[in-house]
Structure 1
Amino acid sequence: MPRFADIAFPTAVRQSFTYRIPAEASGSDDAIASVRPGMRVWVPLKSQMAIGMVVRIHDEQPDFETRDIARVLDSEPVLSEELLRLTDWVHRFYYSSMGEAVQAALPAGMNFLAEPYVRVTGERTDISLRGIEGDVFRFLAEHKAEHEKGTDISLKEVARVWQTKGERALYRLVKKGLIEIWQIPRIRMQPRMETLWEWREDVRAQLASDGVDVVITSHFPGISGGREPKWINGLRLLSALPLPSTRQHILDQPEITAYVWNRIRESGLVASREVPAGQVRSVLPYEPDGISVLNDEQENIFGPVLEAISSRTFRRFLLYGITGSGKTEIYI
């Protein structure tokens, strides 16, 4: 059973750091005993705790005292050995740190972040304090009494309730030993969200049955018969676009400027919703005639890529070549 793990952190430091896999876990079913390359771990780093990525496990005893891994955050590796080899090549070729290369390879929403939390220390909650310190302490004490563990209130939530004065009071309470602030790794993936814009449901039905001109006259009767504002023409152009769509795609239309779009939003005819970025279908026009013809070398490289796409088989490809060698045409 390997006894040591090399761990990379998302900093500019190029080297990895060696930690000990605790001896008491080596022969047990503890999660720490099953640590593997590609897993994130919670470890002490200087005077605080940090999240790092295991890039190698081994039995090579370092010539310095090592610290123990405190917690394994993943039940399975989030990066495969193949991706770890790729990140190792990237960090050597581009002279970046291993941790920075690893962070770039992680799935969107997965990161090395931790969330600070606050809790009251000890059992006494009837301590007499004045002013904002007393208010904040009583708030935390009441939270502790209402919750079984009393430890699940984040520093962000406390700051939201008490603003800047409360945050300063928190650190004074920490110095007095009445509360403590600690961190919990943020291990769940937070998918990147994107805003989609679409017609309001009743407006969409009216557009389908009566057309855009009827929508304009029914919602803005005061502008009929006179000179139309510029944004009204933008409204007509928007009715010809496939919605829902992103703001960026809408603003790609020459006649729909930021001003026009803001007026359309303020009119209340459109509504927004948040969706994971991976669910946003591409709305960019597909123009195959504008794609360059591949040369023989590009065709040889593109063949396996097309085969994987056609068979709906997941594979990874790295296009490696000097500037101007034709990588972009293959990607397109």
Structure 2
Amino acid sequence: MTKKPFDPSSLQAFGNAAAGHDGVLSDPTGAVVVKPCTQAEISFYESIAASHPDLAQHLPTFMGTLSLSANQPSSTAEESDTITTADGAVERLHGKKLDTELHIVLGNITHGFKKPNVLDLKLGAQLWDDAAKPEKRARLDKVSAETTSGSLGFRIAGMRVYKGVPAPEVPEDLKEYAEADKEGGYWVYNKMYGRKFAEDINDGFESYIHGQGKEGKELERAREVLAFFLGEVKDITQVFESKESRMYSASILLVYEGDVEEYAKTKAKLRSAPPVEEEGDEEDLPQLAAVKMIDFAHATWTPGEGPDENALKGMRSTTTILKELLDKTEKDLDAAEAA
């Protein structure tokens, strides 16, 4: 790895995330995120390129590490590739800031979207690793038992849904779980939203995928996005079924263009774009939807122990729910077209 000076004063708070720890940053262009991390997470990302290249397309692009200290006017970036950067941020939803100078530099999954709708699904019924203290195990086991983490193997950890500018007021029955970002046009759902679902989580997915209603254009977008999500989650599941790993509290992140008019413009732009000839060209294109696995602070490879059924249960449940919602959306579309 090469080293070069890096000015942390150019970093700003990152705001397109749906869940996670505080202290996540982005550079002025927004193409990358810089987040506090553990050495275990860095080691996991480093092992992908070395030994698991079939996983790389399902994770954010790993660009290296960065040491950020409050006492340093500048820090040193250790790069495994170049750090290209992009814009924009608001505030992190929740989560304690990790007490570390160690940061990981990753490609920003929401880059290329105008109004990204983001859904963070935390995988696993068991949410703690072997290093967790008894009190933490007990606390997380209680969360799992009372939520879809236990029943489905995943829960909604956070959500951002574009509603239009200005964002309408959040209804009274949701105010405990969400707040309106009127200027940005979003409803921002906190981590407690996902904890209110014990078994049936369909309402959460409906709120995410039908953020701007269920009219013709919205239903058409929902069908396309759900079909894409379903294919990607199936692919991720298939890859991890062949791996021997344990990934406690890892997440699947689902993103799609939340502004239905912008979605249509982007789709037309992508249709008319020339074929991608060189690797990296696609990074400059706008996006309609994306699915990635994230959050590997408690991830390890476990040769001889078989696949991670704890995480795979959540992936398979997600696939089932996406398929059911896709089928329902197609029926709604058929009914709308027949009317």
TM-score, normalised with respect to structure 1: 0.21
> Which structure has the greater CA radius of gyration?
1
TM-score, normalised with respect to structure 2: 0.21
Bigger share in strand: 2
Q: Which structure exhibits the higher relative contact order, with contacts defined as CA atoms closer than 8 Å and separated by 6 or more residues?
A: 2
